[in-house]
Amino acid sequence: MNERLALKRMMAELQERIRGFPDVRKGKNVLYGVEEAGMAAFSVFFMQNASFLEHQRLMKEKKGRNNVEHLFGLQSTPSDNEIRDLLDPVNPEGLNGMYGWVFEELDRGQVLRGMRSYGNNLLVALDGTWYFSSKEIHCASCSSKELAGGSRLYFHSLITPVVVAPGNRHVIALEPEFILPQDGYEKQDCEMQAAKRWIGKHARRYAGKGVTILGDDLFSKQPYCQLLQDTHFHFILVCKPDSHPSLYETLDLLAHNGLIQSFSTRQWKGKQAEISTYRFAQQVPLRNGEDAILVNWCEILVTQEASGKQIYHNSFVTDFPLAETTVPAVIRDGRARWKVENENNNVLKTKGYHLEHNFGHGSQHLAALLLSLNLLAFLFHTVLDLVDEKYQKIRRILVKRKTFFHDLDALTRYLVFDTWDQLLDLMFESLQPDTS
């Protein structure tokens, strides 16, 4: 195991960053610090148990010690309301360094090498999602929209960039970018502005590592593609005819003159043979006008050989040169964009992290900060599943995520562990078959 990515080390790094959170309270007569509030909130997300802190308070009363102290480094545990009050003024960008630290350690330890794809690049998929909504609770940072009947819905949303790889179930969360009310009223405008901010903030760290940005049709517009080129990112972006009429007029003209290259491949999927038909063209203008940048375009149509039934159809624009030998790999990477929804956002919403649950709204930054702590909890578990052999073996035996966290809850409710290694050792040894 990479010792720099051991859970104890990651916890220490997180605690150091939380220790730097500002404390805006006046006076020194305070029972709890912001550090206790931050780590206590993180513990709830890491354990996927909303009752974790309450269980540990009861354990402290009965045994004089508990797992919050030993596993999360807290001397005392604030109440839920105290946690919310202490964390509300804290800007979540104070946690951004944690995502970067984890990425650098994964890269240094060669863990990311197995996730590199076409062009030896890492694939970073960006997508927007909501993490809070209410018809009543709102703050200055809420976006809103009018509903039928004249009522108004308030919500928070963000861009969730993740490293993905075809055929790999793991996704690596990177720094989120929160969508702000001033980003616009239309969903597309809001996500685009947030995506541009993310590129501007993080290009220096990631572009030099060899990164291809993936995105849906929203992002395949000239200003964003130009920004990616200027910041030295590669890109593979969905590109639909309805939103790119000028581009597809050019493609139709090329096709009419026999200048669109095409080829097909055949492969078996179970008992059915599938035909993948590829088309591609190079150096076509992305939009109308003399200032249009030139992109390379490719398309895939997958049909069942026997019935001719369409299974999949999509098209992409990219800055990668295209040829018959490279188009399948480029399209394979472009299709991996869906992992940001299937392996990240949906897992966070439906597999115990309760992304859309209102853990606390506050009047300043609370909702966003709690969301970032939740993302970091998901990232920590992902890292352990990548680098910790004991954790991997436990998860292989306890196939369902829900079962794993149920066992964590039961063990930490009744037993006090001095270290995470002690807890994982007990789980691992107890799950081994009895050979006596």
The stretch 112-132 carries a mean pLDDT of: 92
Mean pLDDT of 86-103: 94
CA 68 to chain centre: 27
Q: CA 169 to CA 342: how far, in whole Å? A: 10
Distance CA 118, CA 234 (A): 11
Does the pLDDT at position 383 exceed 80?
yes
- pLDDT tens for 166-205 read 989 899 999 999 988 776 666 666 889 999 999 999 999 9
- DSSP output for 94-136: GGHHHHHHHHHHHHHTTSGGGG--GGGPEEEE--EEEEEEESS
The predicted structure's pLDDT at residue 184: 65
Q: How far apart are CA 306 and CA 301, in angstroms?
A: 15
Tell me: the pLDDT tens digits for 316-368? 999 999 999 999 999 999 999 987 665 555 555 555 545 555 677 778 889 89
Residue 121 pLDDT greater than 90, yes or no: yes
* Inter-residue contact 212 to 333 (CB < 8 Å): yes
Residue 185: how many CB atoms within 10 A of its CB? 10
97, burial (CB in 10 Å: exposed 0-12, middle 13-18, buried 19+): middle
Query: Residue 254 has which token pair?
Result: 């090329």
Per DSSP bridges, beta strands 143-146 and 177-178 are unpaired
Tokens at 428, concatenated: 């691992």
More confident: 330 or 30: 330
Rounded to whole angstroms, how far apart are CA atoms 290 and 281?
Answer: 19
Over the stretch 196-227, which tens digit does the pLDDT of each residue have? 999 999 999 999 999 999 999 999 999 999 99
- Look up residue 221 and give its DSSP letter: S
Q: How does the average pLDDT of the chain come out, rounded? A: 89
At 276, which helix (H) or strand (E)?
strand 272-285
**Residue 55: both structure tokens together:** 């269980």
The C-alpha atoms of residue 16 and residue 420 are separated, in whole angstroms, by 18
C-alpha angle 114-338-306 in degrees, rounded to nearest 5: 100
* Terminal alpha carbon distance of the chain: 30
The answer, yes or no, to whether residue 26 has pLDDT greater than 80, is: no
Query: If you average pLDDT over each of 140-144, 157-161, 177-181, 351-355, which comes out highest?
Result: 157-161
Closest CA to 97 of 217, 186, 202, 1: 202
Residues 6+ apart with CB under 8 A from 357: none
d(CA 42, CA 29): 25
How many degrees, rounded to 5, is the angle at CA 249 between CA 243 and CA 254?
Answer: 135
pLDDT at res. 207: 94
Pairing mode, if any, of strands 152-159 and 272-285?
A: unpaired
User: Is there a contact between 369 and 90 (Cβ–Cβ < 8 Å)?
Assistant: yes
Residue 76 structure tokens: 């005392």
Rounded mean pLDDT of 21-43? 82
At residue 245, what is the residue type? P
How large a percentage of the chain has pLDDT more than 90? 70
pLDDT of residue 122: 97
With cut-offs at 50, 70 and 90, classify the pLDDT of residue 414.
very high
Q: Residue 132: pLDDT band by 50, 70, 90 thresholds?
A: confident
Query: Cα 26 from chain centroid?
Result: 37
pLDDT of residue 353: 47
46-74: average pLDDT: 92
The pLDDT > 70 percentage for the chain reads 92
Q: Of 59 and 135, which is predicted with more confidence? A: 59
- Read off the pLDDT band of 111 (50, 70, 90): very high
Rounded Cα–Cα distance for residues 144 and 58 (Å): 41
- The answer to whether 231 and 203 are in contact (CB under 8 A) is yes
Confidence of residue 154 (pLDDT cuts 50, 70, 90): confident
Compute CA distances 142 → 91, 271, 361, 375, whole Å. 15, 51, 10, 20
